[in-house]
Amino acid sequence: MNIETSKSLFQEAEQHIVGGVNSPSRAYKGVGGGTPIYMKKGEGSRFIDVDDNKYIDYLGAYGPIITGHAHPHITDAIKKAAESGVLYGTPTSLENVFAKKLKNAIPSLDKVRFVNSGTEAVMTTIRVARAYTGRNKIIKFAGCYHGHSDLVLVAAGSGPATLGTPDSAGIPAAIAEDVITVPFNDISSFQKALEQYGDEIAGVLVEPIVGNFGIVEPKEGFLQQVNDFAHEAGALVIYDEVITAFRFTYGSAQQLLGVEPDMTAMGKIIGGGLPIGAYGGRADIMEQVAPLGPAYQAGTMSGNPASMAAGIACLEVLEQPGTYEHLDRLGALLEDGIKNSASSYGIDVQVNRLGGALTLFFTDKEVENYKDAENTDGEKFASFFKSMLSKGVNLAPSKYEAWFLTTAHREEDIHKTLEAVDQTFAEMTGK
Ligand code: PMP
């Protein structure tokens, strides 16, 4: 495959943009590096790169692109918004329309606030939880990613309920000490953390269905117990639904699982591909936020008309009957095909799938928490990723990420993908 133009663009980018990319994973850090492919056009489930190679896309821009690239309804909404001016710095009626649409879809949201990224949304929920409870510490789960704000870029130590250490330079140790990290799906570690720090905990932050060490569902009853124990300790429960909101159902993971948090952070899909974040929750908690309350949060770009229009249009597409059935049906085809192919070549894999999102792990053991995901074979994944890319299938470049289907994917895409999977497994095993 000729990727000469991508190569020269990346060389040029390295002169001007730090690391050549504007987000680290795009430099294929998770698969040992390489030349990132520069795409020039997306349409539906497909991409064309700058050397005119074609790809089926499962990256979905790390989640937001659930209706496929350049969906006409969303594109029209963005064009219309742009023609009327992209930013006013005043409220617009689109914000009301969108807020009501989100509230109708997710009942735990009494009040919402729009921001510009998932990072901002999560960061602010923590500030609000601290303001509401008058406490400082948070509990998070190992391996869950919640954006790049100081408090959540904290890694676990080795024990079951460990005080954090900064996962990045530039984060003071004192900040990390306010974060307690426990393993996902391990309720006894969570209880231990509460026993030790309960009256200092402002909030418990969790991806209700994990997307950041692969798709990992909570064990039966786990989230309800997290809720109950957190509330007993006087802490708020914050769901990070930046990946999961509108991913598996028209609404959120909390509805799918029948559990309700105090606050929810969102992003990705709700912007229809434009920059967005949102957070919301119980009215008495949200009223901590300025101008009503003492917790400050603001944004020049927040609620901008283009992001609002794109988000509304995206939800209009998703609320059509059959959307999530389609994603689930194609997801099941993909899962079955990968598993059959792997077993015919004697390769151990686990496919963690929910609806139209899945993660392929190279391991013979179930993956229920971050440690399990860490222990899967990253080298095998890297070879798999590179081979699939060379065969025209664009996956996320990390063993921890998900494949995202879109409403634009068709059975033909799945069949082509499974042919590439089969050829790749043949090459990997020399059969
Ligand atoms: N929370 C979760 C669960 C995420 O997956 C991400 C991004 N991958 C974020 C927060 C941060 O969102 P953003 O990149 O829009 O800041």
Query: Any catalytic annotation for residue 145?
Result: yes
Both 254 and 199 in a single domain?
yes
Distance CA 290, CA 303 (A): 16
Same-domain status, 99 and 218: yes
Q: Which candidate in 28, 55, 132, 145 is catalytic?
A: 145
Q: What is the CATH number of the domain that holds 38?
A: 3.90.1150.10
Q: Which domain range does residue 350 map to?
A: 4-70+324-429
Contact 262, 236 (CB under 8 A): yes
Name the β-bridge partners of 265.
240, 279
- Distance, CA 267 to ligand 1 centroid (Å)? 7
Q: Residue 84 and residue 319: Cα distance in Å, rounded?
A: 26
Tell me which of 318, 347, 381 is where a domain ends: 318
- Residue 154 Cα to ligand 1 midpoint, Å, equals 15
Looking at 268, 380, 391, 399, which residue is catalytic?
268
Residues 380, 308 share a domain = no
Helix axes 305-318, 93-105, angle to 10 degrees: 30
Q: What is the pLDDT of residues 98-140, one digit of tens each?
A: 999 999 999 999 999 999 999 999 999 999 999 999 999 999 9
Q: Which ligand 1 atom is the nearest neighbour of the CA of 241?
A: 3
Q: List residues bridging with 137 in a β-sheet.
A: 201
321 is written with which tokens? 């009957």
Residue 29 pLDDT: 85
CA gap 402, 397 in Å, rounded:
10
State the closest ligand 1 atom to the C-alpha of 118, by its place in the atom list counted from 1.
Answer: 12
365 is annotated as an active-site residue: no
The best mutation among 21, 65, 122 to test binding of ligand 1, ranked by most ligand atoms within 8 Å of the C-beta, falls on 122
Atom from ligand 1 closest to the CA of residue 144: 3
> How many whole angstroms separate alpha carbon 224 and alpha carbon 118?
24
Does 60 share its domain with 79? no
Closest-lying ligand 1 atom to the alpha carbon of residue 268: 15
DSSP type of residue 280: E
Query: Is residue 320 within 8 Å of 400, Cβ to Cβ?
Result: no
Peptide bond into 166 cis (omega under 30): no
pLDDT tier at 63 (50, 70, 90 boundaries)?
very high
> In this predicted structure, what is the pLDDT of residue 331?
98
366, 373 contact by CB (below 8 A): no
Let me know whether 12 and 146 are in one domain: no
Dihedral angle, C-alpha 60, 63, 66, 69, nearest 10 °: -40
CA of 235 to the centre of ligand 1 (A): 23
For the record, the structure tokens of 68 come out as 């496929």
Residue where a domain stops, chosen among 263, 283, 318 = 318
Which residue is associated with the tokens 């194609």?
330
Structure token pair of residue 380: 């095998």
Residue 145, ligand 1, Cβ within 6 A: yes
How far away, in angstroms, is 429 Cα from ligand 1 center? 36
Domain CATH for 206: 3.40.640.10
Indicate whether 377 and 335 sit together in one domain: yes
Which 3-state string (H, E, C) describes 288-316? Answer: CECCCCCECCCCCCCCCHHHHHHHHHHHH
Tokens 């798999």, located at residue: 384
pLDDT-based confidence at residue 35 (cuts at 50, 70, 90): very high
- Taking alpha carbons only, the member of 238, 258, 176, 244 closest to residue 212 is 244
CA distance 286 to 264: 11
Smallest CA separation from ligand 1 atom 10, residue: 146
Task: Answer with the one of 281, 303, 318 that is the final residue of a domain.
Answer: 318
Same domain for 259 and 372, yes or no, is: no
pLDDT at 62 over 70: yes
305 & 222 share domain: yes
Task: Confirm whether 279 is a catalytic residue.
Answer: no
Compute, in angstroms, the gap from residue 112 CA to the centroid of ligand 1: 18
Distance CA 181, CA 170 (A): 20
Q: Token digits for 219? A: 């064990």
Per-residue tokens: 425: 């497994």
pLDDT over 90 percentage in the chain: 93
pLDDT of residue 161: 61
Tokens 């390769």 map to which residue? 347
Token pair recorded at residue 431: 């059969």
Q: Which helix (H) or strand (E) holds 11?
A: helix 4-16
Task: Give backbone dihedrals phi and psi of 262, rounded to 5 degrees, phi first.
Answer: -85, -35
Do 296 and 423 lie in one domain? The reply is: no
The least confident of 23-27, 91-95, 161-165, 232-236 is 161-165
**Alpha carbon separation from 117 to 64, 94, 259, 430 (Å, rounded):** 11, 18, 24, 44
Among 226, 150, 148, residue whose Cα is nearest residue 184: 226
User: 212 has which bridge partners?
Assistant: 214
**231 shares its domain with 338:** no
Count the domains in the chain: 2
CB count within 10 Å of CB 349 equals: 20
Distance of CA 275 to the CA centre of its chain: 14
Any atom of ligand 1 within 6 Å of the Cβ of 140: no
**Quick check: CB of 124 below 6 Å from ligand 1?**
no
- pLDDT tens track for 291-312: 999 999 999 999 999 999 999 9
The size of the chain, in residues, is: 431
Shared domain check, 154 and 235: yes
Shared domain for 328 and 419, answered yes or no, is yes
User: How would residue 167 be classed by pLDDT, with cut points 50, 70 and 90?
Assistant: confident
From 123, 151, 252, 268, mutation site for ligand 1 pocket: most ligand atoms within 8 A of C-beta: 268
Of 49, 178, 240, 372, which residue is the catalytic one? Answer: 240
